[in-house]
């Protein structure tokens, strides 16, 4: 492969890592806006969505050009395929951060509800999974990627517990139904971000080892 191609590969790597940093920041801000009732922070996340969408498209076009022009094989091909998949997952995680921010705005304009401990734990775990899957990508660390994957079940279980908690809250006080449903939506969005972090972790294993582990049982 030419020097030009390897320079483009390095640029693609830098661009996807920049995208990851932007998405991680958006998720962090959306969570903070929700728990700290900070509408300005929520609006910042919402206003930044167009930038993420533009970055996602630019990275996709960049990778498609390299695939068409250079027809890479082996590790270079795996790298470009991984960037394409991670690019898509990051854009989706950014959209989910916007969804959480929109619900944070709604809730911030109304009387506060008690924040269930399950939602706090879910937010902490999801934040950590997203951070660690991006670190695994930077370092090409498959051990860290596999640890991210094992935490997905924890977030899923917390999401299930949230259904029970929110149902009880709505039964106890029907006046909270609309606000409680927005909290439940936030839980679901966090669960989906954790799923996307798991996807990225699995893509790191594919990049480094050439093995597809998605849909395989853990353990």
pLDDT tens for 151-192 read 999 999 999 999 999 999 999 999 999 999 999 999 999 999
CATH architecture for the domain at 3-209: Up-down Bundle (1.20)
- For residues 190 and 135, what is the distance between their CA atoms, to the nearest angstrom? 19
Give residue limits of the domains in the chain.
Answer: 3-209
Question: Encoding tokens for residue 104?
Answer: 């944070």
pLDDT in tens, 3-61: 888 899 999 999 999 999 999 999 999 999 999 999 999 999 999 999 999 999 999 99
Q: Give residues with Cβ within 8 angstroms of 52, minimum separation 6.
A: 19, 22, 23, 26, 90, 91, 94
Number of H helices, E strands in the chain: 8, 0
What is the chain's length? 219
């Amino acid at each position: 492969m030419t020097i030009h191609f390897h320079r483009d590969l390095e640029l693609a790597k830098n661009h996807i890592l920049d995208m990851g940093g932007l998405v991680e920041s958006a998720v962090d801000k959306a969570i903070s806006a929700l728990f700290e009732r900070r509408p300005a922070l929520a609006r910042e996340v919402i206003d930044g969505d167009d930038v993420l969408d533009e970055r996602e498209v630019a990275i996709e076009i960049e990778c498609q050009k390299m695939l068409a022009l250079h027809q890479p094989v082996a590790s270079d091909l795996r790298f470009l395929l991984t960037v394409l998949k991670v690019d898509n997952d990051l854009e989706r995680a950014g959209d989910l951060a916007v969804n959480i921010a929109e619900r944070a705005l709604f809730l911030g304009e109304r009387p506060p509800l008690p924040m269930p401990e399950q939602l706090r734990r879910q937010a902490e775990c999801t934040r950590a999974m997203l951070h660690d899957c991006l670190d695994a990508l930077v370092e090409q660390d498959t051990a860290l990627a596999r640890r991210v994957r094992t935490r997905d079940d924890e977030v899923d279980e917390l999401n299930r517990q949230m259904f029970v908690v929110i149902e009880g809250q709505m039964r106890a006080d029907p006046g909270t139904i609309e606000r409680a449903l927005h909290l439940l939506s936030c839980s679901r969005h966090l669960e989906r971000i954790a799923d996307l972090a798991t996807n990225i972790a699995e893509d790191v294993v594919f990049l480094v080892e050439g093995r597809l582990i998605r849909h395989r049982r853990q353990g």
